[in-house]
């Protein structure tokens, strides 16, 4: 098993993750209507409240296959994120939070919270964390990356070198750039910009002149002048819709296959079909339906649909307004809970992984400096079993498998029964040991 932070920063030998953040706190009424109240000033004022600064510590050490390897050095990591839901869900880069022992999130109003890793996708270098704030938070205005133009003015906002909310501006230099960051990280389609992007800006927004996010800043070419990159916002929102799907987060299912569509009439969400026996099929959704509203929430992209269902209960009836053949109608969607298996999670864990586990609270995780919402303490390891062969020990806390957290027994049961995991011979896992996040691979083929 390897230290989770051990290879997280190696990509910086070619590209350094980045974005920029602004000091403009808002626009004073005394300057409105003057030449100082430029489009860039207005754009920053519009987006800035939803940009957050991320701090954390990572342990850097040489790669090793031994789970309990100690040593290495701690470095202070920094990055940026954008609030995409008023309940505190924040989108950032995967490499910003990878291996971080405690995620600290500072809002534009200087309030600081502990962030908890909710979901991640290393392949696309995107992740979602969540903070628990007492009030609804401002959400970043989201634009589109489908109509971007080389030469178009853009603005970057981020935690550059730890200087909170630094603002820089420039233009789009090129579109659809494939960029190889390292042997394991490749971005197939990035926006290139000459807006100054620096270490610490990763995960922050690239804005258009209207103050809408059109990209997620991700990297800068080391040694180059004015060459930075951002993930197009359309791609980022598609990934975010998967990371925050109601099935992944709440273990509920709707069974509706959707796609985000850009048209001359604006963006909308279209139904591709429904899974057999699903809640969507029972509700009467059909291919070609356009989803307009879920309850009181307007639906513009797939992420809106998933967020509108997040936090609902199994069996809850949700009104969904659709457009079919030019006419609007309301369907009643009743969310389904996870299918119960013949075995409880504790038996799956022993049978498939060779471990006995029990839940531990978020309070215990916090004491260990872990940025997770919970975990499963390992009570017993079967000699010669899957976990034993990876060096897992009694007392370790299992906090994640594949792309999901294992905060509860139900989480673990879901992961072990999921189609994604069932089709893989090896599954990545994450544990906490002595305040450090370690990772390894469970060989399920054996």
pLDDT tens digit string along 236-282? 999 999 999 988 887 788 999 999 998 887 899 999 999 888 899 99
pLDDT band at 445 (very low <50, low <70, confident <90, very high): low
- Main-chain dihedrals φ then ψ at residue 170, nearest 5 degrees: -175, -145
Question: Would you say residue 423 has pLDDT above 80?
Answer: no
pLDDT at 115: 92
Of 95, 145, 165, 396, which residue is the catalytic one? 95
pTM tops 0.85, yes or no: no
Of 232, 229, 223, which Cα lies nearest the Cα of 262?
232
Nearest residue to 334 via CA among 318, 321, 322: 318
User: Which one from 169, 202, 250, 253 is the annotated catalytic residue?
Assistant: 202
pLDDT confidence of residue 219: 77
Average pLDDT score over residue span 56-83: 61
What is the Cα–Cα distance from 97 to 171, expressed in whole angstroms?
28
Is-contact 115 36, C-beta < 8 A? Answer: no
Q: Quick one: pLDDT at residue 154? A: 98
Residues in the chain: 446
SS3 of the chain: helix, strand, coil, percent, to 5? 20, 40, 40
Contacts of 120 (CB under 8 A, 6+ apart): 94, 97, 98, 126, 127, 128, 243, 403
Q: Which two tokens stand for residue 376?
A: 């499963």
Residue 10 annotated to the active site = no
Question: Would residue 121 show up in a list of annotated catalytic residues for this protein?
Answer: no
**Is residue 67 predicted with pLDDT exceeding 80?**
no
Measured from the Cβ of residue 426, the count of other Cβ atoms closer than 10 Å reads 12
- Please give the helix or strand (H or E) that residue 54 lies within, else none: strand 51-60
Catalytic residue among 125, 194, 289, 396: 125
Distance CA 341, CA 352 (A): 14
Torsions phi, psi of 348, nearest 5? -60, -45
Q: What is the mean pLDDT of the chain?
A: 84
Q: What is the mean pLDDT of residues 128-154?
A: 96
Contact (Cβ atoms closer than 8 angstroms) between residue 178 and residue 205: no
203 touches 91 (CB < 8 A): yes
Reply yes or no on whether 125 is catalytic.
yes
Does residue 318 carry a pLDDT above 90?
yes
Q: Residue 58: which pLDDT band, with cuts at 50, 70 and 90? A: low
Q: How far apart (Å, rounded) are the C-alpha atoms in residues 414 and 378?
A: 18
Give the pLDDT score at 425.
Answer: 77
- The 10s digit of each residue's pLDDT in 121-131 is 888 999 999 99
pLDDT bracket for residue 220 (50, 70, 90): confident
Domains of the chain: 1-235 (2.40.10.120), 252-334 (2.30.42.10), 345-443 (2.30.42.10)
CA distance to 244, 249, 261, 271, 333, per residue, from 293 (Å): 18, 21, 15, 13, 12
Task: State which of 6-20, 148-162, 384-398 shows the largest mean pLDDT.
Answer: 148-162
Predicted pLDDT of residue 65: 32
**Of 77-81, 210-214, 233-237, minimum mean pLDDT range:** 77-81
The three-class DSSP label of residue 437 is strand
Percent of the residues in the chain that have a pLDDT greater than 90, as a whole number: 51
In the structure, what pLDDT confidence band is assigned to residue 57 with cuts at 50, 70 and 90? confident
Mean pLDDT value of segment 9-23: 39
């Amino acid at each position: 098993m390897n230290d989770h932070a051990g290879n997280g920063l190696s990509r910086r030998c070619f590209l350094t993750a980045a974005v920029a953040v602004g000091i403009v706190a808002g626009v004073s009424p005394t300057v409105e209507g003057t030449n100082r109240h430029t489009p860039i000033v207005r754009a920053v004022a519009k987006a800035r409240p939803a940009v957050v600064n991320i701090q954390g510590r990572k342990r850097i050490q040489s790669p090793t296959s031994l789970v309990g390897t100690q040593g290495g050095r701690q470095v202070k990591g920094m990055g940026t994120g954008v609030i995409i839901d008023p309940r505190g869900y924040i989108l950032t880069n995967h490499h910003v939070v990878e291996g971080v022992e405690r995620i600290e999130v500072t809002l534009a109003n200087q309030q600081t919270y502990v962030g908890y890793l909710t979901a991640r996708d290393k392949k696309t270098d995107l992740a979602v964390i969540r903070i628990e704030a007492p009030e609804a938070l401002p959400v970043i205005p989201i634009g589109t990356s489908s109509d971007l133009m080389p030469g178009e003015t853009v603005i970057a906002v981020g935690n550059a070198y730890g200087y909170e909310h630094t603002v820089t501006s420039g233009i789009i230099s090129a579109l659809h750039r494939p960029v190889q960051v390292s042997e394991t990280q490749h971005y197939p389609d990035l926006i290139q910009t000459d807006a100054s992007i620096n270490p610490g800006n990763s995960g922050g927004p690239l804005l258009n002149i209207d103050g809408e996010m059109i990209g997620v800043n991700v990297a800068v070419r080391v040694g180059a002048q004015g060459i930075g990159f951002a993930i197009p916002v359309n791609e980022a929102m598609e990934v975010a819709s998967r990371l925050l799907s109601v099935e992944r987060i709440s273990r509920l299912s709707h069974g509706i296959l959707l796609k985000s569509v850009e048209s001359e009439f604006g963006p909308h969400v279209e139904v591709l079909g429904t899974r057999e026996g699903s809640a969507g099929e029972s509700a009467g959704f059909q291919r070609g339906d356009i989803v307009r509203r879920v309850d009181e929430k307007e639906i513009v992209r797939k992420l809106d649909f998933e967020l509108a269902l997040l936090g609902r209960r199994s069996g809850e009836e949700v009104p969904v307004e659709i457009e079919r053949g030019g006419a609007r109608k309301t369907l009643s969607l009743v969310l389904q809970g996870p299918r119960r298996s013949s075995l409880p999670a504790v038996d799956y864990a022993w049978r498939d992984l060779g471990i006995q586990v029990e839940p531990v609270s978020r309070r215990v995780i916090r004491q260990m400096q872990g940025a997770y919402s919970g975990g499963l303490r390992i009570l017993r390891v079967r000699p010669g079993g899957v976990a034993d062969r990876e060096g897992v020990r009694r007392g370790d806390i299992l906090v994640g498998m594949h792309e999901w957290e294992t905060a509860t027994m139900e989480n673990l049961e879901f992961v072990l029964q999921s189609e994604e995991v069932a089709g893989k011979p090896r599954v990545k896992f994450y544990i906490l040991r002595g305040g450090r996040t370690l990772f390894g691979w469970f060989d399920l083929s054996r």
